[in-house]
Structure 1
Amino acid sequence: MPMLLGSKGKDILQWRASAELVAELEKRLVGKWGRSSAKEAEALLRQFIEGLDHELEYENDLQREISALEEGIDEITSPELLPTLLARHREVVSAHFRRRQSVLALCGICNSLHDRAVSKVAALAGERMQQLGQGNPPLHALIVCGDRGRGEQTLESVNRYLLLHEEEKSRSIMFSRQLSTSLKEAGLLAGDHLFWHGTLSNWRALVAGDAGGDEKEGASPLGNGSPLVPELEWRLEAMTDLHQVTGDAGLASAALSSAARTVLEEKNRGHFLQLARRVIALPLALGRFGRWRLEKDGEHRGEMDLQLLGIDPLVMTVRVLAVQAGVVAPGTVARIQSLLEKGFLTVELSERLLKAYQCLMQTRILSEIKTEQPGSWVNSEELDMEQDERLRVSLDTVLNLQKIAYQRMVGMG
């Protein structure tokens, strides 16, 4: 079952899915075996084993490709050399996804390659400082926020990068400039608005809602998240969807702990509940009377934005529920499983949500493969009946989640 590839732990959902899979295989084999002679049964088993060997060899080939890419990343001498390797990575992972359709497997590979690439670029930025006579890099930690922070990196993910460093000194400023420049040269940083740097004190002020300077209230120095929730969503993501990529573990741990404490302090306060209400009410791609919400103009005219109107509402609603429940797991799948364990979700809804997540993310990845751009654009006229039904069921599941979140966070408030 591709949806469960990469899952960890003995959770209820894995047990149930595995039991269903084994039961189905047993049913098919018994039916086939009962009508077969000994020779036919032997041939069937041989065919089964050969097919399994073929699939295992395919996975071994993939691992060899990935290992070669990792070695290539380790050996580059300049950030400008990285895009060629990332393009090859994209080809390899895209081919694997077309064959396996496993979202968790793709995300796992992309998470690992992302971290290796960013770590190498950070090292090269430090070397460039030394070559320019600017001294050694200061004590620092580089944290990523967004898709990679949740462990959901895809082919075209756009992340925010947070550089924590020592108190404001010339070396800290020079290193931040070298790192942001190197990340852009490597094709990993989409714009200056997605790069933030500061001290631990600056970080604590940022997550507390006091960015300082001339920032407007609620404005994000990191770049906004969903345009439908432009004011405070970035802060919640910046406090919960974090992952250390490289640098000093102690500094990173202090930053993540500070963010976690702020979440605990604010989860019952008015502005968080206000954000929760807005997240729970986000529109979905499936509107009234079962009609698709389509773009009315622009290059995507006649298409629907399943990132904005499908994945974002699912990820954000699960996030606010996780915050309320005290769940610290960073990824959407892990959060769903933890919400199930805490009794916030039923087994049936949890299974449906995992399938909805799988469906919506599959659609996004296929869109990224096709367009080589971030986002998840779908032309409803190109969907066959099965695809159309899967999307409708997935979005209906997200709507059910929003209703439950409303009952828990608003209706009883």
Structure 2
Amino acid sequence: MALLLGAKGEDLLTRRGTAEFVEQVRQGLYARMAHLSAGDEELLLLGVRSTLEEELAAEQRCREDFSRALDETDQAEDVQELILVQDRLRAMAVDHFRRRGSVTAFHLMRTVALDRITGAALRITVSQMAVGGVGLPAGRWCWMALGSAGRGEVGRFDACDFLLVHEGNEAGSSFVGFSGRGAGLLERLGIRSRAGITPASSSWRGSLAEWRQRIAVRALEGGGDLDWLIRLADLRLVAGDPSLAAEMVNVVRSALTAQIDPLREIARRTAMMQSGFDFFGRLRVERGMFNLSLYGIGPIVANVRIMTVRFDIQETATTERIRGLLYGGRIDVELAERLLRAWHCFCRHAIQREIAGENGILVDVEEFGEDAEHELHASLEAVGSLQKIVYSSISGQG
């Protein structure tokens, strides 16, 4: 079964996965029914239908409850009310993951919750500034996410990076207080950046013209600064003006389009990220722990992103980028499915450990059964196949 819950619309991978799943179910039913009487066959099929109807009803209830909780964020008047709603939304996402095990559905629920809570926090910030007689933001603005939050792959709220874009250089001073107060309120909600990437810092806020200049300077300098620019390809609007956000995205894309030759060196380095296998083909562990981020999640994100940047694929989510590469003819169906399974494998283990309150990126492979270890090996092999394609198709070796 293809691991595509939360996918946008129907596509080739969805149809293939659905067809495979239905065929497996059909074969299982036929094998069971071969030993039943005619009456019992009908009872079995009725039981299957009843179970499916119950599952569909449960999913519908989950969507409705989650939607109602999201709507409550729009009514919240202070941080304490937001905290209560936030806790409910998190509990719903965790409960759904425990029941369904869907990485994409978990990321989607957490991302939607992050966006609505952030939007509500910024609304409350503006309201408090107005009541306090503090100068309000002058003109349009947009609060944008990058990193995992930008890609819509939110797991933990304490790993969310944001920047602010506003219009008009002369309006910049009016956004200083707004950015600081907004970021401070988000921190009280546990929504913060581990790397200090926040609009509270002048480095991460500015007018569109200022951002265009910063990007141009970074692109001109190249090297490590180009890595910074490539990471901006993950930008996604969270709150504020959509048209201004679209302009910012276009600035980033235009700058990246002009960097084809420097991108080759970045792609070469990305394709040569350290493998999760050691010299003898064993899992690379340190003190018995395997690093999911260093050898799994990180390489998939980086290699898929560099390919989508090079071939101008506009998606930001890793799973959607993989589809974009498939339909752009950059990878085949087999590798696309292997990469989606690998992504699910790595992220599933990470989410399980985070829910348990442990370090989400380190797993003890000694606790794995044979099937789980085989899945991890296959996932790392898919990453290796992707890196070979990146090296040959972008770095100029093929």
Q: Same fold (TM over 0.5)?
A: yes
What does 1:297-316 correspond to in 2, within 5 Å?
301-316=287-302
* 3-state secondary structure, aligned to 1:153: coil
1:243 to 2:244 alignment: no
The alpha carbon displacement at 1:82 in A equals 2.9
Contact 1:80 1:185 survives alignment (8 Å): no
Alpha carbons of structure 1 residues 409 and 103: separation in structure 2 relative to 1, 3 Å: same
Structure 1 CA distance, aligned partners of 2:269 and 2:249? 26
User: What residue in structure 2 maps to residue 53 of structure 1?
Assistant: 53
1:265 to 2:258 alignment: yes
What does 1:118-197 correspond to in 2, within 5 Å?
118-139=118-139, 140-156=141-157, 158-166=159-167, 167-169=169-171, 170-190=173-193, 193-195=196-198, 196-197=204-205
Which residue of the other structure, out of 340, 360, 364, is the alignment partner of 1:354?
A: 340
User: What residue in structure 2 maps to residue 410 of structure 1?
Assistant: 395
* 3-state secondary structure, aligned to 1:134: coil
| One-letter amino acid of the counterpart of residue 257, structure 1 | N
User: What residue in structure 2 maps to residue 202 of structure 1?
Assistant: 210
User: What residue in structure 1 maps to residue 331 of structure 2?
Assistant: 345
* 3-state secondary structure, aligned to 1:285: coil
Contact 2:101 2:348 survives alignment (8 Å): yes
Contact 2:2 2:17 survives alignment (8 Å): no
Contact 1:156 1:372 survives alignment (8 Å): no
The alpha carbon displacement at 1:116 in A equals 0.4
Structure 2 CA distance, aligned partners of 1:346 and 1:356? 15
User: What residue in structure 1 maps to residue 201 of structure 2?
Assistant: none
Alpha carbons of structure 1 residues 9 and 64: separation in structure 2 relative to 1, 3 Å: closer
Structure 1 CA distance, aligned partners of 2:350 and 2:217? 32
* 3-state secondary structure, aligned to 1:75: coil
Which sections of structure 2, spanning at least 5 residues, go unmatched? 199-203
Which sections of structure 1, spanning at least 5 residues, go unmatched? 220-229, 296-300
* 3-state secondary structure, aligned to 2:90: helix
Contact 2:158 2:190 survives alignment (8 Å): no
User: What residue in structure 1 maps to residue 12 of structure 2?
Assistant: 12
User: What residue in structure 2 maps to residue 234 of structure 1?
Assistant: 228
After the TM superposition, which of the residue ranges 280-289 and 66-75 deviates more from structure 2? 66-75
Structure 1 CA distance, aligned partners of 2:222 and 2:86? 35
Alpha carbons of structure 1 residues 367 and 406: separation in structure 2 relative to 1, 3 Å: same
| One-letter amino acid of the counterpart of residue 74, structure 2 | D
Contact 1:205 1:211 survives alignment (8 Å): no
The alpha carbon displacement at 1:307 in A equals 1.1
| One-letter amino acid of the counterpart of residue 321, structure 1 | M
* 3-state secondary structure, aligned to 1:371: coil
Structure 2 CA distance, aligned partners of 1:253 and 1:325? 19
Contact 1:279 1:316 survives alignment (8 Å): yes
What does 1:48-87 correspond to in 2, within 5 Å?
48-87=48-87
* 3-state secondary structure, aligned to 2:136: coil
Structure 2 CA distance, aligned partners of 1:242 and 1:160? 10
Structure 2 CA distance, aligned partners of 1:231 and 1:388? 38
Structure 2 CA distance, aligned partners of 1:11 and 1:412? 32
Structure 2 CA distance, aligned partners of 1:174 and 1:113? 25
Give deviations 1:385-413, integer Å, cap 9, x for gaps.
Answer: 11111111101110111112111122527
* 3-state secondary structure, aligned to 1:350: helix
Which residue of the other structure, out of 386, 400, 404, is the alignment partner of 2:385?
A: 400
Contact 1:149 1:241 survives alignment (8 Å): yes
Structure 2 CA distance, aligned partners of 1:147 and 1:179? 20
User: What residue in structure 1 maps to residue 351 of structure 2?
Assistant: 365
Contact 2:160 2:194 survives alignment (8 Å): no
Structure 2 CA distance, aligned partners of 1:338 and 1:188? 30
Give deviations 1:252-304, integer Å, cap 9, x for gaps.
Answer: 121111111111111x122x222211111111332221233233xxxxx4322
Alpha carbons of structure 1 residues 372 and 126: separation in structure 2 relative to 1, 3 Å: farther
Structure 2 CA distance, aligned partners of 1:353 and 1:397? 6
What does 1:374-389 correspond to in 2, within 5 Å?
375-389=360-374
Which residue of the other structure, out of 234, 241, 247, is the alignment partner of 1:254?
A: 247
Structure 2 CA distance, aligned partners of 1:115 and 1:42? 47
After the TM superposition, which of the residue ranges 51-60 and 386-395 deviates more from structure 2? 51-60
* 3-state secondary structure, aligned to 1:162: strand
User: What residue in structure 1 maps to residue 269 of structure 2?
Assistant: 278
Contact 1:146 1:160 survives alignment (8 Å): yes
After the TM superposition, which of the residue ranges 40-49 and 389-398 deviates more from structure 2? 40-49
Structure 1 CA distance, aligned partners of 2:85 and 2:358? 15
1:289 to 2:289 alignment: no
Contact 2:129 2:135 survives alignment (8 Å): yes
Aligned Cα root-mean-square deviation (Å): 2.3
After the TM superposition, which of the residue ranges 95-104 and 54-63 deviates more from structure 2? 54-63
| One-letter amino acid of the counterpart of residue 412, structure 1 | Q
1:317 to 2:317 alignment: no
User: What residue in structure 2 maps to residue 116 of structure 1?
Assistant: 116
The alpha carbon displacement at 1:100 in A equals 0.6
* 3-state secondary structure, aligned to 1:204: helix
The alpha carbon displacement at 1:218 in A equals 7.7
Contact 1:141 1:163 survives alignment (8 Å): yes
Tell me how many residue pairs correspond in the alignment.
390
| One-letter amino acid of the counterpart of residue 259, structure 1 | V
Contact 2:229 2:252 survives alignment (8 Å): no
Structure 2 CA distance, aligned partners of 1:135 and 1:13? 51
The alpha carbon displacement at 1:126 in A equals 0.7
